[in-house]
């Protein structure tokens, strides 16, 4: 029996309570539990069987307080039960032991049992019954009932810890059903119906950093902080690292460098055989491969993704075997999950049974970075490439095809870290992610990603500086540079790109003409509206000659000529050009095409700029329901028309109406685009202005 040093209890003595002392009321039965009467005097020398008190726990004070709140309180007829659930190595056992040692003064019995093996568990409960005074009534044929009887009759508070329980079904019959006690269970399983479950998280960065410095005796804050991040705040890994550094006489900085090069070997080392991070996680992996191969396959897939929440519903939405390649092992493990929500749920449940993943929002799971690392390390070298390719194929397929639509943005947001972790910068999926960043208003991030994409195309075999895809990537970089607020920088990038387009693709190539169009637009955005108008006017006949007068790109240039004519000061000229263009776009593209709707929007605006503000308001009012019907009420273009209609309402003389429309619009823009999106900020400023105008009118 394991007795904590310094405990002043007769843990190793046999305490015999007999009927002669009036301690046992034979034949008194409550339900199926024999009730044994134990005197207060005998309770004073009842046993404690706990592991040694752990060293000072870092970052666990709030958890210990929460435990006491849940376990202590008014006495009731049944024990209070709390489950500490979490990943192997997160410190559940240490937390339970610390709680017990802190509250020994309140307890007559404090007993920890190993709950993995039912035979050993029953034997430990039998010893508890004997030590707690139940020898006179203990039934060797049913030691569990004997322990329950002793605990039910005990007059004071008691605590029994069931350590490392496999699950509720495995230990249900061993749990005390009655008595003034506390039951604390530690388990990797997250499935505990009817119990109060407390998730034990990894340590936060500050606590993890402090633990490393304290245990290693090394004050290097930077190295400790970086190592804590690499280890994901897992207490077992942190203490293992600190112990290794101290024993080897190396600094945390040296251990960090070594870990980055040879993490698999270091994770397998431990002062206690079989208790390393690798061994602890590896045991669960081995069990999964036998009991739930699809769960094991899912974990291997997660291991090759980013250490961020994974949207399984998106990632596994495809048909069976789609994109998994020729490897039959990967296909056999992952194929049954594709498109089958029940199979996915079953696999996640199996993984949560060992806390190998944690829920991270609707349909999302998170695997700890060390679980990922150990899982990758245990994949045979010949199969790692196939698993990596499966992660690539499924991520690529999950990224929405049209990232311009706001409805696609949540999916893109969830997939972004995984795309960055597994996709090549030259992949179509990565370009879709970059476009999503641009459409959703994350302009600097889009610019930076397109810069990396353009650089990758320039360096990659099979592409190079003069490849068409490289030139297109440079054009996307220029567009996003302008969106990020650097119109002059965008203009210069397009100016440098144009001669390369001319040389490589030819002056009449559609991509070259697109570059001329964008260069003109950026010229206008830098303040030279007349220059933009003139460049576009010169481009228009070229597009008419090369593409034809009714080609959509030709019509786009006509639209832009009109717009910059208006910006250059000729609102009536812009209005007339747009009025002439509108029926052409309706004929060629259809009345519901987004470009047709865009021309209607500009026509309304320049109608007002030319002096007819009432007509402007009416045109915007007529356009809005068509945009909402075609594009959806939350599309950025629909929101832009709502903004224009509100402002036109104010200019037409109804400041209060403008204020109310803008107030409703701001709520929707914050919901759809976010509070810091440039379009949201424009609406906020407009609302402030028209609210002040309405206040003055009142």
H helices, E strands: number in the chain: 31, 11
**Nearest residue to 36 (alpha-carbon basis) of 146, 176, 142:** 146
> Rounded to an integer, what distance in angstroms lies between the CA atom of residue 152 and that of residue 148?
6
d(Cα 500, Cα 660) in Å, to the nearest integer?
51
Q: How many domains does the chain have?
A: 6
Cβ–Cβ under 8 Å, residues 597 and 637: yes
What CATH number should be reported for the domain holding residue 157?
A: 3.40.50.300
Q: Has residue 11 been placed in a domain?
A: no
Q: Tokens 């112990």 correspond to what residue?
A: 243
C-alpha closest to that of 67 among 159, 134, 148, 137: 159
Q: Do 663 and 635 share a structural domain?
A: yes
Backbone angles phi, psi at 245, to 5 degrees: -60, -40
- Distance between CA atoms of residues 622 and 604, nearest Å: 10
Residue 39 is predicted with a pLDDT of 43
Distance (Å, whole) CA 669 – CA 683: 8
Do 193 and 330 share a domain, yes or no?
no
Verify that 191 and 222 share a domain, yes or no. Answer: no
Position 380 scores a pLDDT of: 83
CA 645-436-516 angle, to 5 degrees, is 80
- Average pLDDT, 10 consecutive residues per value, the chain (698 residues): 30 29 28 38 62 82 90 81 88 90 89 88 86 62 85 88 89 90 90 82 90 91 92 86 86 91 80 65 81 91 93 85 66 88 91 84 86 87 88 94 86 94 95 92 90 95 93 95 91 97 96 96 95 97 96 96 96 97 96 94 97 96 94 88 96 95 95 86 95 83
Place of tokens 């070997």: 265
The helix/strand/coil state of 403 is coil
Residues 217 and 188 in one domain: no
Whether 385 is covered by a domain: the verdict is yes
Residue 362 shares a structural domain with residue 405: no
Tokens of 24: 């046992």
Kindly state whether residue 512 falls inside one of the protein's structural domains: no
For 505-533, give the DSSP string.
H-TTSHHHHHHHHHHHHHHHHTT-HHHHH
Q: Rounded to the nearest 5°, which phi and psi values hold at 109?
A: -130, 135
Report the distance separating Cα 479 and Cα 486, nearest Å. 10
Same domain, 154 and 51: yes
Residue given tokens 């707690």 in the structure block: 132
The predicted pLDDT at position 25 comes to 27
Q: State the Cα–Cα distance between residues 127 and 503, nearest whole angstrom.
A: 89
CATH code for the domain in which residue 585 is found: 1.25.40.10
| Same domain, residue pair 186 and 220 | no
308 in the same domain as 394: yes
SS3 label, residue 363: coil
Residues 406, 364: one domain? no
Residue 116 neighbours by CB under 8 Å, 6+ apart: 164, 165, 166
pLDDT of residue 139: 61
First to last CA, the chain: 84
3-class DSSP state of 470: helix
Indicate if 306 and 405 belong to the same structural domain.
Answer: no
pLDDT at 328: 64
Last residue of a domain, one of 250, 275, 300: 275
Quick check: helix, strand or coil at residue 669?
helix
DSSP 135: T
The confidence score (pLDDT) of residue 316 equals 93
Domain annotation covers residue 544: yes
Q: Which residues have C-beta within 8 Å of that of residue 492, sequence separation ≥ 6?
A: none
- Same structural domain for residues 417 and 564? no
- Together in a domain, 170 and 209: no
Is residue 158 within 8 A of residue 182, CB to CB? The reply is yes
| Domain extent at residue 484 | 399-506
């Amino acid at each position: 029996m394991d007795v904590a040093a310094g405990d002043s209890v007769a843990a190793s003595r046999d305490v015999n309570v007999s009927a002669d002392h009036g301690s046992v009321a034979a034949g008194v039965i409550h339900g199926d539990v024999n009730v044994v009467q134990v005197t207060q005097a005998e309770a004073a020398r009842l046993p404690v069987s706990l592991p040694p008190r752990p060293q000072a726990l870092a970052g666990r004070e709030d958890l210990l307080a929460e435990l006491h709140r849940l376990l202590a309180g008014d006495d009731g007829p049944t024990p209070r039960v709390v489950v500490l659930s979490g990943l192997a190595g997160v410190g559940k056992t240490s937390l339970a032991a610390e709680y017990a040692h802190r509250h020994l003064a309140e307890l007559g019995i404090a007993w920890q049992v190993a709950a993995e093996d039912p035979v050993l568990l029953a034997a430990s409960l039998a010893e508890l019954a004997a030590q707690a005074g139940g020898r006179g009534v203990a039934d060797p044929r049913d030691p569990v009932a004997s322990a329950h009887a002793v605990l039910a009759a005990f007059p004071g508070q008691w605590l029994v810890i069931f350590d490392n329980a496999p699950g509720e079904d495995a230990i249900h019959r061993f749990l005390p059903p009655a008595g003034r006690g506390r039951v604390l269970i530690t388990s990797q399983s997250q499935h505990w119906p009817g119990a109060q479950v407390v998730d034990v998280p990894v340590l936060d960065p500050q606590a993890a950093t402090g633990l490393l410095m304290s245990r290693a005796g090394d004050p290097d804050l930077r190295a400790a902080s970086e190592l804590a991040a690499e280890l994901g705040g897992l207490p077992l890994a942190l203490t293992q690292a600190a112990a290794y550094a101290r024993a080897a006489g190396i600094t945390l900085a040296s251990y960090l460098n070594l870990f980055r090069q040879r993490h698999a070997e270091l994770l397998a080392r431990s002062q206690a055989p079989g208790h390393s991070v690798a061994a602890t996680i590896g045991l669960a992996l081995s069990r999964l491969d036998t009991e739930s191969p699809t769960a094991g396959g899912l974990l291997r897939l997660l291991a090759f993704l980013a250490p961020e929440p994974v949207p399984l519903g998106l990632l596994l939405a495809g048909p069976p075997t789609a994109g998994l390649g020729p490897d039959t092992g990967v296909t056999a493990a992952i194929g049954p999950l594709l498109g089958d929500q029940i199979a996915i749920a079953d696999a996640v449940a199996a993984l949560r049974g060992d806390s190998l993943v944690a829920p991270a929002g609707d349909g999302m799971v998170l695997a700890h970075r060390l679980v990922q690392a150990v899982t990758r390390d245990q994949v045979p070298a010949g199969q790692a490439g196939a698993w990596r390719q499966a992660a690539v194929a499924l991520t690529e397929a999950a990224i929405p095809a049209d990232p311009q639509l706001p409805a696609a943005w949540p999916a893109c947001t969830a997939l972004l870290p995984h795309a960055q972790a597994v996709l090549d910068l030259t992949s179509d999926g990565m370009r879709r992610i970059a476009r999503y960043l641009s459409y959703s208003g994350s302009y600097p991030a889009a610019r930076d990603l397109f810069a990396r994409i353009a650089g990758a195309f320039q360096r990659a075999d099979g592409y190079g500086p003069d490849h068409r895809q490289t030139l297109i990537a440079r054009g996307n970089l220029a567009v996003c540079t302008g969106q990020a607020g650097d119109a002059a920088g965008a203009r210069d990038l397009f100016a440098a790109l144009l001669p390369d387009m001319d040389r490589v693709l030819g002056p009449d190539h559609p991509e070259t003409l697109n570059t001329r169009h964008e260069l003109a637009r950026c010229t206008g955005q830098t303040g030279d509206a007349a220059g933009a108008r003139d460049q576009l006017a010169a481009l228009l006949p070229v597009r008419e000659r090369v593409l034809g007068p009714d080609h959509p790109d030709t019509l786009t240039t006509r639209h832009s000529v009109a717009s910059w004519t208006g910006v250059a000061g000729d609102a009536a000229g812009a209005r007339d050009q747009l009025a002439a263009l509108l029926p052409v776009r309706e004929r060629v593209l259809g009345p519901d095409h987004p470009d047709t709707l865009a021309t209607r929007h500009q026509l309304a605006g320049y109608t007002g700029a030319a002096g007819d503000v009432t007509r402007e308001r009416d045109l915007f009012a007529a356009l809005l329901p068509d945009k909402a019907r075609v594009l959806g009420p939350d599309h950025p273009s629909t929101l832009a028309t709502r903004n224009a209609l509100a402002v036109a309402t104010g200019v037409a003389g109804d400041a209060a109406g403008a204020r109310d429309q803008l107030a409703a619009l701001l709520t929707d823009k914050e919901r759809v685009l976010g509070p810091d999106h440039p379009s949201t900020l424009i609406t906020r400023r407009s609302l402030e202005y028209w609210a002040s105008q309405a206040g003055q009118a009142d």
